Amino acid sequence: MYVYDEHDRQMAAERVAQFRDQTERALAGELAEDEFLPLRLQNGLYVQRLAPMLRICVPYGMMRSDQLRRLARITRDYDKGYAHFTTRQNVQLNWPALEDVPDILAELAEVEMHANQTSGNCIRNTTTDQFSGVQSDEIADPRPYCEIIRQWSTFHPEFAFLPRKFKVAVNASEQTDRAAIQVHDIGLQMVRNEAGDLGFRVHVGGGLGRTPMVGPVIRDFLPELDLLTYLEAVLRVYNRYGRRDNKFKARIKILVKALTPEGFAEKVEAEWQHIKESPTRLTPEAIQRIQGYFTEPDYAAIDNATDLLASQRFENRGFDQWLTHNVDTHKKAGYAIVSLTMKKTGTPPGDVSDKQLEQIADLADEFSFGEIRVTHQQNVVLADVRQDRLFELWQAITPMGFGTANLNTLTDVICCPGGDYCALANAKSIPVAEAIQRQFDDLDYLYDLGNIDLNISGCMNACGHHHVGNIGVLGVDKKGQEFYQISLGGSSHHDASIGKILGPSFARDEMPKVISKIIDVYVDKRTEEETFLDTYRRVGIDPFKERVYA
């Protein structure tokens, strides 16, 4: 994992001092509210329905145990003792006091953390696959490139006041896209060209929100050394020509659509020609230097624990289910990737207490070289667990509430904080998630249904990624009443697609029943091998409509 050197430490400290100065001026009335707004947003601070909300950056989802412990302490000392994992691999505190925020940022800086650019119209945290570096089918480890992008985008003087927010995601697996890159402002898919050189396929202009779009490819192959100059060209074209007259048309996807992907790509190429040989062009040494922080941990030379696991599975059905659903194949013999699910029914998806943060830190130290990854599905990954210790780990996490064996099933809901916390929300999202989780509490039935992405957002801003849920739920406000609109057929993976709206929306208490009907249609219509999405794509939306609105 990346470790700060003296330059990073110095800039982090200067940033804290800067924000302290800005906060003092704001509290003294020297900065008008609209002048302070982008400054506090670019330090992660929103003013929310009940209190300020602080979004802390977890660069590409990676955290060390000492950082988790510091977060736990911060939630105790400055908040109500819990935190929330977000759909962009970050962490949120829901109740900090404005005047405490500079101190919180100082405490974070001590453990190499920050809240830089987690909000505001700037380049946000770069996200990636939570299985980076430990899966066998990736082109290369994407994390060094994420770190290179993090450094380039941090306090970029030209791009601090873009037309709108800007999100970059990187994916390196050939078969799977766990980073949802095609619904990002820039999605980078790592590829090798025919000569075997490493590079990126560049998607620009994907996104959710009011106008959901799958990002078109504007360059099939960008050599790795050209990464930053090309990003700079894309951002410059967007900064200059993106719409600023209408907030709802200000994302880069609107510009790409207006110019057409080809027209946009031409403009970027023209800009890039001027800067591609500039000193911002990466060097092999610079990449190698960052790669040096993402080397393999000290793996033991061991074999797969196949026999041991088989007998443990045989003796314990709960372990068997958990192993099947929450544990993935590791590139190293004898190791496994474990997902801790933060989706226990009755707990808002992604919420963790200070105690749980410390428990996760202890688990990381004990089982996974002291590191964890936060996923955009709001779970936590221990990436390097010895297979012969999986049973021990499972026994440890079950009483903690992290062992619910529902990963990627219907009840592994992606869900924004919604109207319970968020000032932007039209409707609550957490109670909907909970009601659906209660309705589908039979694990065997969930397994029979297979992988289903159920994504819930409390408003059009789509933090719960509802457009790309196989089943998406969007909270809407109808004359002061909370209603929920359903869409079907979305996907955030390599086959990315935007869901189609089923029809008129429903009251909250109808939701579990409606979801049941949708599931029933799938069960009736599916062939043996089909996932929910496969069936939907084959039969279309009509059978679902007929059943739900019958």
Partner 1 sequence: MPNVISPDGSIRQDNWVVVPRPAEGESLDIPADQPALIPADLWLAGYEHFTGRQEIGVWFDSHDEPEILDGRVNELPVIAVNFPKFSDGRGYSIGRLLRERFGYKNELRAIGDVLLDQLQFMKRCGFDAYVLRADKDINKAARCLNFFSQGYQAATDTEIPLFRRRAS
Q: Binding to partner 1 by residue 463, rule CB under 8 A? A: no
Counting other chains too, the contacts that 194-201 makes at CB distance below 8 Å and 24 or more residues apart are 197/223, 197/224, 198/139, 198/140, 198/223, 198/224, 199/223, 199/224, 199/226, 200/170, 200/224, 200/227
How many whole angstroms separate alpha carbon 481 and alpha carbon 110? 45
Q: Which of 9, 192, 247, 274 binds partner 1 (CB under 8 A)?
A: 274
Task: Quote the strand ranges of 87-140, DSSP E.
Answer: 91-93, 127-128
Q: How far is the CA of 509 from the CAs of 346, 458, 486, 501, in angstroms?
A: 16, 15, 14, 19
Q: Binding to partner 1 by residue 294, rule CB under 8 A? A: no
Question: In the block, which residue shows the tokens 């101190």?
Answer: 103
Q: Binding to partner 1 by residue 132, rule CB under 8 A? A: no
Nearer to partner 1, 271 or 434 (CB): 271
How many whole angstroms separate alpha carbon 75 and alpha carbon 354? 6
Nearer to partner 1, 18 or 398 (CB): 18
Q: Which of 86, 119, 125, 151 binds partner 1 (CB under 8 A)?
A: 151
Near partner 1 in 330-369, by CB under 8 A: none
- Phi/psi for 78 (5° steps) reads -120, -5
Nearer to partner 1, 250 or 309 (CB): 250
Q: Binding to partner 1 by residue 11, rule CB under 8 A? A: yes
Q: Give the sign of the dihedral formed by CA 300, CA 388, CA 382, CA 185.
A: positive
Nearer to partner 1, 15 or 184 (CB): 15
Near partner 1 in 222-241, by CB under 8 A: 228, 236, 239-240
For residue 437, list its beta bridge partners: none
**Shortest spacing between CB 532 and partner 1, in angstroms:** 43
Draw the binding track, 156-195, toward partner 1 (x: CB under 8 A; -: no contact): xxxxxxx---------------------------------
Q: Binding to partner 1 by residue 524, rule CB under 8 A? A: no
Draw the binding track, 374-393, toward partner 1 (x: CB under 8 A; -: no contact): --------------------
Nearer to partner 1, 279 or 480 (CB): 279
**Shortest spacing between CB 259 and partner 1, in angstroms:** 16
- In the chain, what's the furthest Cα-to-Cα distance? 69
**Shortest spacing between CB 122 and partner 1, in angstroms:** 9
Q: Binding to partner 1 by residue 53, rule CB under 8 A? A: no
Nearer to partner 1, 229 or 485 (CB): 229
Nearer to partner 1, 295 or 324 (CB): 295
How many whole angstroms separate alpha carbon 238 and alpha carbon 245? 14
Helix locations, 185-305, DSSP H: 227-241, 252-259, 261-275, 284-291
- Phi/psi for 537 (5° steps) reads -65, -30
Q: Binding to partner 1 by residue 22, rule CB under 8 A? A: yes
Residues near partner 1 (CB under 8 A), total: 42
Choices 7-15, 81-89, 97-105, 423-431; region in contact with partner 1 by CB under 8 A: 7-15
SS3 for 527?
coil
How many whole angstroms separate alpha carbon 146 and alpha carbon 156? 15
**Shortest spacing between CB 39 and partner 1, in angstroms:** 6
**Shortest spacing between CB 242 and partner 1, in angstroms:** 9
Question: In the block, which residue shows the tokens 């996104």?
Answer: 207
Q: Binding to partner 1 by residue 397, rule CB under 8 A? A: no
* DSSP code per residue over 456-487: EESSTT-TT-GGGSSEEEEEEEETTEEEEEEE
| Lookup: tokens for 293 | 């922080």
Q: Which of 4, 78, 155, 294 binds partner 1 (CB under 8 A)?
A: 155
Q: Binding to partner 1 by residue 117, rule CB under 8 A? A: no
Instruction: Tell me which residues touch partner 1 (CB under 8 A).
Output: 5, 7, 10-11, 14-15, 17-18, 21-22, 30-31, 35, 38-39, 121, 148, 151-152, 154-162, 228, 236, 239-240, 244, 274, 278-280, 282-283, 285-286, 289
